[in-house]
Structure 1
Amino acid sequence: MSSDIRFTDFKSDKQPTWCPGCGDFGTMNGMMKALAETGNDPDNTFVVAGIGCSGKIGTYMHSYALHGVHGRALPVGTGVKMARPDIEVMVAGGDGDGYSIGAGHFVHAVRRNVDMTYVVMDNRIYGLTKGQASPTSREDFETSTSPDGPKQPPVNPHALALASGATFIAQSFSSDALRHQEIIQKAVEHDGFGFVNVYSPCVTFNDVDTYDYFRDSLVDLKEADHDPSDRDAAKEAILDSDKEYQGIFYQDENSVPYHEQHGVDEDMSVLPDGAPEGATDLVREFY
């Protein structure tokens, strides 16, 4: 889709404080490019973020934004989309934020099929709190708080999404810029809940799941002749513990998003008559 908007229009004047080399830089660039390429602009885009290194992304992107509390970004995004179904909603989080305290919200956002994009920056560690094991850390991954490893299998977010009825499940790698943008763009264009787990290496606290590791191990589903419309094939790839994949695992081309299923098409950001004095102005300022 052609657009006069460039991805740089989504850059705020705030300088990122992520560690040099952090995978989140590439993740964010792909998000901005995908939004611009799909014809969106900052005036019709709302970015919701959680807690952790990924939670800063709303500050670094020029759009409407809200920095929520830990694990609660998806309910906020759902509320925004229900109040303003006409705007593009993108939710950003990390593996700790999304698959630990936010796991319950993840399941229900998936099954509702709300028309928004959920980008999870998965570095398989808690980075902001200085290097503890996360829900996606390897079973033997040694940290300062788990010197023998967490001794439990990592969460498989794609399997959780598929079991919850997801209509779009994908994975990308922040360093593979063009492919990452393409996958995020497909998620934005999808009619329904577009879920993308992004391998976004932490260069400070994770010396196992590195850029080199992912470059050497990633298998692209597109090159493997995977059919994303085949749910059984998606299940097989998602449960394949011997490979690391990027690409679209599954997409339901007949997906009908929540707001269309239930006829939610009105702007509900304006409060009705009789609301407390000043409330309408507050809502207008917020949106």
Structure 2
Amino acid sequence: MNEMTKIETTLKDWETDQEVRWCPGCGDYAILKAVQRTLPQLGADPKNTVFVSGIGCSSRFPYYMESYGFHTIHGRAPAFATGIKLANPDLDVWLVTGDGDGLSIGGNHMMHVLRRNVNMQIMLFNNEIYGLTKGQYSPTSREHTRTPSTPLGSVDHPANPCAFALGSGARFVGRGIDVSKNLPDVLMAAHAHQGAAFIEIFQNCIVYNKDVFDDFAKPKGAEQQQLWLSHGEPMLFGSEKTGGVKGLKLNTQAFAFEVVDVADGDWQAAGVQVHDATNRMLAHMLVELPFGEFPMPLGVIYDDPAPTYEAAVMAEKERASAGKDTSIARLLAKGQTWTVSGTASDPV
């Protein structure tokens, strides 16, 4: 497979002539712009880029990207994206899905694209609701969520998308927020990763689940509730203006994190853990942190590349065809063949 040939584009080069139609105030608008701003920074080529989606509000995405696109069927976008990548491994494939599309009917397909490690970027928009079909509870809806399908409150324990991805064998797991200025950085890191890169994006559904993420995504006081992770950097959050700088310390005896205060910027004296994005066990611990007791881990949580599925398939194909005639025309003409001449009107 060839490395991507970088070209120079602008945000406008990635916009289509289609009217962008989501509910006013929907977080999808912010994610769309974040992606359209990121692609020029990557040097991506619209002629070599494919966006694949399933069914849901997020799945309108391919219509608004000036590139190739597939709007597929419910939950099956990973299967289509895998086929596209195998047919042409040089294509830059982005998969767009939602918490319902990707983790309910599509959960099986999502698991397999992750465990196979197909080289693509997977953006899962998580608004904890079925927005397109009028607000039913989804696999990620919190317990006691009242919706048309759970009028007394959901009794389901919600799925954790990042924990699901890690459990499925994902080699890259990241998190972002629709309106965060840091989202493009997470997208760029995912693109640089060779393999299936899974990004959960918290997305505000303005109509059916408004402000459900305000406890950590609301701009005022966000520093105290968001832990932005960066490989090789201490796990710090907060600021002096919002209650002081704090950090996560790993209690090795209990093998659990605890929140510690950081005085005078001396995080080492406070025992703050340095993030190691290649440590799978650390990633599991981070995505399972109970919010409220701890800040929400965001950014690149896990990044440890491994050989990709399509590279293995292509290598196997080369081994199987080595020293053999691979011309379809010649293969069809070999052996006992004959030519039928004449026209349909000739007597049999």
- TM bucket normalised to smaller: 0.7 to 0.9
Question: Which of 46, 51, 56 lines up with 2:50 in the alignment?
Answer: 46
> Offset at 1:20?
1.2
Mapped to 1, the partners of 2:7 and 2:173 lie a distance apart of 26
Give 3-state SS (helix, strand or coil) of 1:263's partner.
helix
Question: Which of 143, 149, 154 lines up with 2:153 in the alignment?
Answer: 149
1:260 aligns with 2:264: no
Other-structure match for 1:220: 228
User: Against the structure 1 CA distance between its residues 9 and 211, is the aligned structure 2 distance closer, same or farther, given a 3 Å change threshold?
Assistant: farther
Mapped to 1, the partners of 2:207 and 2:41 lie a distance apart of 32
Other-structure match for 1:251: 303
Which sits farther off after the overlay, 223-232 or 97-106?
223-232
Question: Which of 182, 189, 207 lines up with 2:192 in the alignment?
Answer: 189
1:71 aligns with 2:101: no
Would you say the 8 A contact 1:202–1:210 is kept in 2?
no
Question: Which of 96, 100, 109 lines up with 2:104 in the alignment?
Answer: 100
User: Against the structure 1 CA distance between its residues 22 and 272, is the aligned structure 2 distance closer, same or farther, given a 3 Å change threshold?
Assistant: farther
Other-structure match for 1:283: none
Q: Which residue identity does 1:7 align to in structure 2?
A: L
Would you say the 8 A contact 2:98–2:124 is kept in 1?
yes
Mapped to 2, the partners of 1:49 and 1:272 lie a distance apart of 33
Mapped to 2, the partners of 1:180 and 1:211 lie a distance apart of 17
> Offset at 1:230?
1.2
Which string of whole-angstrom CA distances, capped at 9 and with x for unpartnered residues, describes residues 250-273 of structure 1?
1104x221122333599xxxx955
Other-structure match for 2:206: 203
Give 3-state SS (helix, strand or coil) of 1:158's partner.
helix
Q: Matched residues, percent identical? A: 36
Other-structure match for 1:233: 282
Would you say the 8 A contact 1:259–1:265 is kept in 2?
no
Which sits farther off after the overlay, 157-166 or 192-201?
157-166
**Aligned residues, how many?**
268
Give 3-state SS (helix, strand or coil) of 1:93's partner.
strand
Give 3-state SS (helix, strand or coil) of 1:92's partner.
strand
After superposition, the CA RMSD in angstroms is 2.1
Mapped to 1, the partners of 2:75 and 2:310 lie a distance apart of 23
Give 3-state SS (helix, strand or coil) of 2:137's partner.
coil
Mapped to 1, the partners of 2:133 and 2:298 lie a distance apart of 28
Q: Which residue identity does 2:201 align to in structure 1?
A: V
Would you say the 8 A contact 1:85–1:265 is kept in 2?
no
Give 5+ residue unaligned stretches, structure 2.
Answer: 236-273, 318-326, 331-348
Pick the structure with more helix per residue. 1
TM-score when scaled to structure 1?
A: 0.87
Q: With CA pairs under 8 Å and 6+ residues apart, which has the higher RCO, 1 or 2?
A: 1
Larger Rg over CA atoms? 2
TM-score when scaled to structure 2?
A: 0.73
Would you say the 8 A contact 1:92–1:119 is kept in 2?
yes
Which string of whole-angstrom CA distances, capped at 9 and with x for unpartnered residues, describes residues 227-262 of structure 1?
211111101101112242211111104x22112233
Would you say the 8 A contact 2:96–2:122 is kept in 1?
yes
User: Against the structure 1 CA distance between its residues 250 and 142, is the aligned structure 2 distance closer, same or farther, given a 3 Å change threshold?
Assistant: same
Which sits farther off after the overlay, 49-58 or 213-222?
213-222
Mapped to 1, the partners of 2:329 and 2:47 lie a distance apart of 26
Question: Which of 134, 137, 140 lines up with 1:133 in the alignment?
Answer: 137
Mapped to 2, the partners of 1:2 and 1:207 lie a distance apart of 39
